[in-house]
Amino acid sequence: MANILAGTPVRDAILAELAERIRRLPRAPGLAVILAGDNPASAIYVRNKVKACAELGIVSEQRTPPASIETSELLAMVQEFNERPEIDGILVQMPLPPQVDSRRVLQAIAPEKDVDGFHPVNVGYLVAQVEGPRACTPAGIMRLLAHYGIAVAGRHAVVVGRSDIVGKPMALLLLHAHATVTICHSKTPDLAAVCRGADLLVAAMGRPAMLTRDYLKPGGVVIDVGMNRLDRREQVAGIFRGDPRKLEQFERHGSVLVGDVHPLDVAEVAGAYTPVPGGVGPLTIAMLMANTVRAAERRAC
Ligand code: NDP
């Protein structure tokens, strides 16, 4: 039976360490959050981020402009936060409304206040291994691997997905930790064969339960970043092979979460894996808090 790599104890350890560091700062760190429009998933993410700030002692300030906001207005908002000394971090929740030039808005954030690690300057720091904010989800995964004492150096890591927020930074962090890294995407031929060669497999595609046992190396470590909401009963019944607990969960909530890796196959084939939910998910917000505290520390000295 595979070991479950739960994210919650790792998150708790990160937050406990941050609480101690916040106590040593001359003032509470400040995080500005911009949530434009009315995307319900974004609203939930932002609510959770703001709640995490409050619990940890980070002061957060939220702006919720309407979906009709223009690029120029968002740029002015970001500029205001760039200039305010008590704001250490700025987070612009993605996606932005379609008429907004998202790239321009992200690039307007002062790199030292970019707590998502998306600004090209910070991406450059990542590539060059210079200290700077790292993308939260991949950074959280590195903490999880360290927490559970999972060796990375010399192992073959396969990252499926090449997005700027997960796949690419993940591959670079693993490379810097001396893994031999293969990056896969939708045009990779014979994905199953590549994945089966992975001592460490990171799945970040957004494809519900796609990586079945054929994609898994027996005894390997599997990190499942995917967060897919199943909202059709037959999908839940099919993936979870009629598991009555999952069907009951579906009846109660109207949907069930599943990762990109098949939840039953991974438990049988892998040596260790992160569950969905409760694996990678809790770490992303913890690393956002970590980036905010680090930004405050750097600006305080
Ligand atoms: P994107 O949609 O930006 O990127 C998906 C990547 O997966 C692309 O590179 C795409 O390839 C690749 N891909 C898609 N389908 C296939 C396929 N059939 N075979 C191989 N590769 C494929 O997604 P994100 O990186 O933003 O997110 C990925 C997943 O992680 C989502 O489920 C998201 O919800 C979840 N997520 C979870 C977080 C957490 O905190 N747990 C945080 C962030 C994301 P190509 O480039 O060729 O199109």
User: What does the domain layout of the chain look like in residue ranges?
Assistant: 26-126+284-300, 136-282
pLDDT digits (tens, 9 = 90+) for 148-189: 999 999 999 999 999 999 999 999 999 999 999 999 999 999
The answer to whether 224 is a known catalytic residue is: no
Q: Provide DSSP, 228-242.
A: EEE--HHHHHHHTTT
CA 61/CA 87 separation, integer angstroms: 9
pLDDT digits (tens, 9 = 90+) for 238-270: 999 999 999 999 999 999 999 999 999 999 999
Is residue 166 within 6 Å of ligand 1 at its C-beta?
yes
Is residue 49 within 6 Å of ligand 1 at its C-beta?
no
CA 218/CA 213 separation, integer angstroms: 9
Q: What are the φ/ψ torsions at residue 249 (nearest 5 degrees)?
A: -60, -40
Tell which residue, 100, 103, 31, has the closest CA to residue 60. Answer: 31
Tell which residue, 209, 205, 120, has the closest CA to residue 158. Answer: 205
- Distance in Å, CA 162 to ligand 1 centroid: 7
Pick the CATH number of 136-282 from 3.20.20.80, 3.90.1150.10, 3.20.20.70, 3.40.50.720: 3.40.50.720
- Distance in Å, CA 202 to ligand 1 centroid: 11
Is residue 122 within 6 Å of ligand 1 at its C-beta?
no
The atom number, within ligand 1, closest to the CA of 279 reads 41
CA 162/CA 164 separation, integer angstroms: 7
Pocket test for ligand 1, best of 5, 143, 227, 288 (most atoms within 8 A of CB): 227
Pocket test for ligand 1, best of 186, 210, 214, 258 (most atoms within 8 A of CB): 186
According to the model, what pLDDT value does residue 61 have?
A: 98
The yes-or-no answer to whether 26-126+284-300 and 136-282 have a common fold is: yes
- Distance in Å, CA 104 to ligand 1 centroid: 23
Q: Which residues pair with 90 in a beta bridge?
A: 32, 114
The answer to whether 129 is a known catalytic residue is: no
- Distance in Å, CA 232 to ligand 1 centroid: 21
CB 195 within 8 A of CB 216: yes
According to the model, what pLDDT value does residue 1 have?
A: 79
Is residue 162 within 6 Å of ligand 1 at its C-beta?
yes
The atom number, within ligand 1, closest to the CA of 206 reads 32
Ranges of residues in the chain with a pLDDT under 70 are none
Look at domain 26-126+284-300 and name its CATH class.
alpha beta
pTM for the whole thing? 0.97
From 116, 199, 224, 260, the catalytic residue:
116
Q: Which residues pair with 92 in a beta bridge?
A: 34
From 88, 93, 168, 217, the catalytic residue:
93
Tokens of 61: 């300030």
State the chain's mean pLDDT as an integer.
97
- C-alpha pair distances (Å), 86 with each of 52, 73, 89, 287, 292: 19, 21, 9, 20, 12
CA 157/CA 167 separation, integer angstroms: 12
Pocket test for ligand 1, best of 42, 102, 160, 166 (most atoms within 8 A of CB): 166
